[in-house]
């Protein structure tokens, strides 16, 4: 029962104003709705009114005050149809719902006793009968009635306009949101919450009250999110000219949440993991994550809320653009090259894998069964890469004019990706028709490049050939418009050479455009033999193959003017060395470390590089997952063994250098999540990781001392991970126990405690997962816990891919259980099993068998869609 983009029809009926009254009760909440409805001018008089509604018990229904008899409408599990309605009317309904039994966490549900909502994409239909689609936009007036003791705080979108007490200990608050919005942006929160409050004056002088609502015990974890919010508000004014448009902006932290956060108008709801931080409980990475998610949700106020999506196929219209915006924000306020390295490194590991698997889909899919399955890395991160390419094609200034035009022209409307790209084409005069293929074609394009230096004529000939592999449903692919940012680095001078193409001087760093299947670019006046530096700053989301020698890579590692490509040269060099070692491991030959890698690391460690954050990234080896991405058939054990061998060889050869770096980067300063401190800690901790790979007495002593010093969670967690992942139970067990007891009361820290132990390489992990699933701090109903324990286990490559198949079986058991409780999380959890084609025959069989076993169950549409694709 898929939905197709090509079937889109504008709504026959618009709701222009929506009034809701919630009488809260855990098992029997009453929702009264009063909708002002109008038939669209172009719709037939006879068009029935069809409303969405699921898990609702209907108690009353009336049109223009006249109660409807049962014969006047039809109900199914998913719809309410009224065959005959006037051209304009008021529809009143009353339904009953049960928030406490809502384990799917969509619609209105309870988390830790408090009421909250998640309506994107199609959760509102679990609240009341409504045209639940983003192109129906209404103003909302919402009254929330609750128990004055249990729910002293009653929140909804917009501004509070009325409140009062009622009989039998009840009270109410009424909220009004003047901005028309689709129902997926509706939100309600009620509970015993406390707030921190701050203020922001917008560029036009409007005073906005900022509130962050949390449970009492989390009041000391709100500073960073509030500071991040204010930075994001300023940044969006300065960078995009976007100003906030209500007098109040609220963020609420909830423990049970399927995703990171939600941009509901004026009332953002956050997974507590994406908003709460304290130096003692959150790592640097968590601080940075909070900063970017707070910004992301805030930026949605324009890219998503003021201008929204016509339908859910256009999801990347708001998500790709907003991710691009939050990436730029984080780059501006932290280390830009490191932000890019981290984003790309994640992207090339996880999105490339998605693009190569059975669930591959375009940035704008053309059909789906369950939209919640499409909140993917392709829609979000590849969508952001596509917007970034637009920025690079147009240049920032034209891109900004395009963005201004988009917000102005489409303010208050629900629009499409063509509308967005159309603005960019209009302001720049650039033909973006071929570029549009990025939105419709799935799969990661690969570029095979080769180059030749012609000494006699001082020319460099660069040939680029592109191909995009077939993906499910898309056997044939067309050439894309791929911007390749590049330079030619002179091997004598070590400098970028001036690029001259067809007589035109392009400067030392330029973008060339690959639009055909194959093109040769002839650079003239190239005075010395160069090494090409291609795809600088990852200028397009593609795989680029160039036959670099290890000497070339070592050269780029030290000479490339592009920080991103310097890092990438190091990664490529390490990958070549790892390839040899993986082969050696398979063939049972003695492993020998490539001395060029050792020397490259020595240079890095001893040259005083000013950007410590970049240095830490350069010292980080490609992850097992990324190495696996490069292999035709993944050999998990060989990859693990080879990578460990490289770590240990480097640590042995460069022990003194690592100790020096460790000691130089300790600090006694009070913790602050500043770029400088974060860089120092990363560098210190990466050094400690190498040292702990050899587990000599001095390294162990340093690690134990760092754990015991208890300075901040970044250092403590890093030390704990190294102790727990070491081969010595006498180090692992006491540290784990002490940490678990100290933090038993803090769910977010316990999540980390779960993850650390199920990520260790030792073979006891499977039993540990089973044991920990019985731990009092674990709950299968809490998505963070499932991710921290079961999700993390499935990322533990050597243990999840055990040859006895018990890792796969465990995951399938949890998927089957969650399929009933929370289909969205269940469907996401299957992902590692869907990658079966990448493994050896024995593992393929085992993984498929578990998928088949899941398929035998009565499945939610979410899990069904994923399993079906995975087995196709
Ligand atoms: N729009 C939200 C965000 O990206 C995510 C909503 C997720 N919804 C869902 N059903 N998974 O900020
Ligand atoms: Zn988003």
**Is 421 a pocket residue for ligand 1 (Cβ < 6 Å)?**
no
Residue (of 417, 426, 343, 420) closest to 385 by Cα position: 343
Residue (of 128, 141, 106, 112) closest to 51 by Cα position: 128
**Total Cβ atoms within 10 A of residue 834:** 20
Query: CA 761 to CA 767: how far, in whole Å?
Result: 13
What is the predicted pLDDT for the residue at 609?
Answer: 72
Per-chain residues with Cβ under 5 A from ion ligand 2: 319, 322
CB 177 within 8 A of CB 167: no
CA 638 vs. chain centroid, Å, equals 30
Alpha helix ranges (H) inside 468-591: 550-559, 563-587
CA of 258 to the centre of ligand 1 (A): 8
| The Cα angle at residue 16 between residues 12 and 19, in degrees rounded to 5 | 125
Identify whether 617 is a catalytic site residue: no
Q: In what order do the strands lie in the sheet with 530-534?
A: 510-514, 482-490, 530-534
**Is 594 a pocket residue for ligand 1 (Cβ < 6 Å)?**
no
Ligand nearest to the CA of 121: 1
**Total Cβ atoms within 10 A of residue 571:** 20
**Is 122 a pocket residue for ligand 1 (Cβ < 6 Å)?**
no
Catalytic pick among 106, 120, 297, 381: 297
What is the predicted pLDDT for the residue at 165?
Answer: 98
Question: Which residue among 124, 134, 259, 383 has the greatest number of ligand 1 atoms within 8 angstroms of its CB, and so is best to mutate?
Answer: 259
> Which tokens sit at 766?
């499977």
**Total Cβ atoms within 10 A of residue 101:** 12
Q: Coil, strand, or helix at residue 624?
A: helix
Half-sphere exposure of 148 (CA within 13 A, CB side): 10
> Which tokens sit at 642?
């080879």
Where is 141: in which H helix or E strand? strand 138-147
Residue (of 559, 514, 567, 501) closest to 537 by Cα position: 567
**Is 258 a pocket residue for ligand 1 (Cβ < 6 Å)?**
yes
In sequence order, the β-bridge partners of residue 544 are 447
Query: CA 825 to CA 834: how far, in whole Å?
Result: 15
> Which tokens sit at 624?
């097992």
**Is 120 a pocket residue for ligand 1 (Cβ < 6 Å)?**
yes
What is the predicted pLDDT for the residue at 50?
Answer: 98
Question: Which DSSP state fits 454?
Answer: E
CA nearest ligand 1 atom 3, residue: 262
CA of 631 to the centre of ligand 1 (A): 33
CA of 504 to the centre of ligand 1 (A): 47
Residue (of 721, 711, 707, 614) closest to 667 by Cα position: 711
Verify cis geometry, omega within 30 degrees of 0, for the bond prior to 575: no
> Computed from CA positions of residues 487, 492, 498, 501, in that sequence, does the dihedral angle turn out positive or negative?
negative
| The Cα angle at residue 695 between residues 691 and 698, in degrees rounded to 5 | 70
Ligand nearest to the CA of 321: 2
Find the length of the chain. Answer: 872
**Is 319 a pocket residue for ligand 1 (Cβ < 6 Å)?**
yes
Give 565's contacts (C-beta < 8 A, 6+ positions apart). Answer: 533, 534, 535, 536, 537, 556
Ligand nearest to the CA of 264: 1
What is the predicted pLDDT for the residue at 668?
Answer: 85
**Is 326 a pocket residue for ligand 1 (Cβ < 6 Å)?**
no
Residues of the chain with pLDDT below 70 are none
Query: CA 807 to CA 811: how far, in whole Å?
Result: 6
In sequence order, the β-bridge partners of residue 144 are 22, 173
């Amino acid at each position: 029962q898929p939905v197709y983009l090509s079937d889109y029809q504008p709504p026959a009926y618009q709701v222009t104003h929506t009034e809701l009254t919630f009488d809260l009760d855990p098992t029997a909440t009453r929702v009264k709705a009063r909708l002002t409805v109008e038939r669209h001018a172009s719709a037939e008089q006879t068009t029935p009114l069809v409303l969405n509604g699921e898990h609702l018990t209907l108690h009353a229904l009336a049109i223009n005050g006249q109660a409807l008899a049962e014969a006047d409408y039809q109900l199914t599990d998913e719809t309410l149809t009224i065959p005959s309605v006037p051209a304009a009317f008021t529809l009143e309904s009353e339904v009953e719902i049960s928030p406490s039994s809502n384990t799917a966490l969509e619609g209105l549900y309870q988390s830790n006793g408090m009421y909250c909502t998640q309506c994107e994409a199609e959760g509102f239909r679990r609240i009341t009968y409504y045209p639940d689609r983003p192109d129906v936009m209404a103003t909302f007036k919402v009254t929330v009635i609750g128990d004055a003791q249990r729910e002293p705080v009653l929140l909804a979108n917009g501004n509070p306009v009325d409140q009062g007490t009622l009989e039998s200990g009840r009270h109410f608050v009424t909220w009004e949101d003047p901005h028309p919005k689709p129902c997926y942006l509706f939100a309600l929160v009620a509970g015993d919450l406390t707030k921190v409050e701050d203020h922001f004056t917008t560029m036009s002088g409007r005073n906005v009250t900022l509130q962050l609502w949390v449970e009492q015990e989390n009041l000391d974890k709100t500073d960073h999110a509030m500071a991040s919010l204010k930075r994001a508000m300023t940044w969006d004014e300065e960078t995009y000219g976007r100003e906030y448009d209500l007098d109040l902006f609220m963020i609420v932290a909830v423990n049970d949440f399927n995703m990171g956060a939600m941009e509901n108008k004026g009332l953002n709801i956050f997974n507590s993991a994406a908003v709460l931080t304290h130096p003692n409980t959150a790592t640097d990475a968590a601080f940075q994550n909070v900063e970017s998610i707070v910004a992301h949700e805030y930026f949605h106020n324009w890219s998503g809320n003021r201008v929204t999506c016509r339908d859910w196929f256009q999801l990347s219209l708001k998500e790709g653009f907003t991710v691009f915006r939050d990436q730029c924000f984080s780059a501006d306020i932290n280390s830009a090259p490191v932000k890019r390295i981290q984003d790309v490194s994640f992207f090339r590991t996880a999105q490339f894998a998605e693009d190569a698997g059975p669930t591959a889909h375009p940035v704008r899919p053309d059909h789906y069964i369950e939209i919640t399955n499409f909140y993917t890395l392709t829609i979000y991160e590849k969508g952001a890469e596509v917007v970034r390419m637009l920025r690079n094609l147009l240049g920032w200034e034209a891109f900004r004019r395009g963005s201004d035009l988009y917000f102005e022209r489409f303010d208050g409307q629900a629009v499409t990706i063509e509308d967005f790209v159309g603005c960019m084409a209009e302001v720049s005069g650039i033909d973006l028709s071929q570029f549009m293929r990025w939105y419709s074609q799935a799969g990661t394009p690969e570029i095979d490049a080769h180059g030749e230096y012609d000494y006699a004529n001082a020319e460099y000939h660069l040939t680029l050939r592109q191909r995009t592999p077939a993906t499910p449903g898309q056997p044939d692919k067309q050439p894309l418009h791929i911007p390749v940012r590049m330079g030619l680095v002179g091997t004598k001078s070590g400098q970028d050479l001036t690029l001259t193409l067809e007589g035109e001087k392009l400067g030392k760093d330029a973008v060339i455009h690959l639009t055909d299947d194959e093109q040769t670019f002839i650079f003239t006046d190239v005075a010395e033999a160069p090494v090409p530096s291609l795809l600088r700053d990852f200028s397009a989301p593609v795989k680029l193959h160039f036959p670099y020698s290890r000497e070339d890579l070592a050269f780029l590692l030290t000479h490339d003017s592009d920080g991103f490509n310097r890092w990438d040269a190091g990664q490529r060099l390490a990958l070549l060395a790892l390839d040899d070692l993986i082969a050696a491991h398979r063939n049972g030959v003695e492993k020998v470390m490539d001395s060029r890698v050792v020397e490259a690391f020595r240079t890095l460690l001893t040259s005083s590089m000013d950007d410590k954050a970049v240095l830490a990234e350069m010292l980080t080896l490609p992850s097992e997952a990324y190495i696996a991405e490069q292999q035709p058939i993944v050999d998990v054990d060989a990859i693990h063994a080879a990578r460990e061998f490289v770590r240990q060889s480097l640590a042995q050869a460069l022990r003194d250098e690592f100790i020096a770096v460790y000691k130089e980067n300790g600090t006694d300063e009070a913790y602050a999540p500043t770029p400088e401190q974060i860089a120092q800690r990363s560098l210190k901790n990466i050094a400690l990781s190498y040292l702990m790979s050899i587990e000599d007495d001095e390294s162990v002593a340093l690690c134990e001392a760092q754990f015991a010093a208890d300075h901040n969670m970044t250092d403590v967690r890093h030390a704990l991970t190294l102790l727990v992942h070491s081969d010595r139970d006498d180090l692992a067990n006491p540290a784990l126990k002490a940490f678990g007891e100290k933090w038993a009361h803090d769910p977010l820290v316990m999540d980390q405690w779960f993850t650390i132990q199920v990520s260790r390489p030792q073979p006891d992990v499977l039993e540990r997962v089973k044991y920990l699933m019985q731990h009092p701090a674990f709950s299968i109903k809490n998505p963070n816990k499932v991710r921290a324990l079961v999700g993390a286990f499935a990322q533990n490559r050597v243990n999840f891919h055990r040859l006895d198949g018990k890792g796969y079986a465990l995951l399938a058991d949890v998927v089957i259980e969650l399929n009933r409780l929370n289909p969205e999380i269940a469907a996401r959890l299957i992902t590692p099993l869907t990658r079966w084609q990448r493994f050896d025959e024995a593992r393929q069989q085992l993984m498929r068998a578990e998928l088949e076993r899941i398929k035998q169950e009565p499945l939610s549409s979410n899990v069904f869609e994923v399993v079906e694709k995975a087995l196709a």
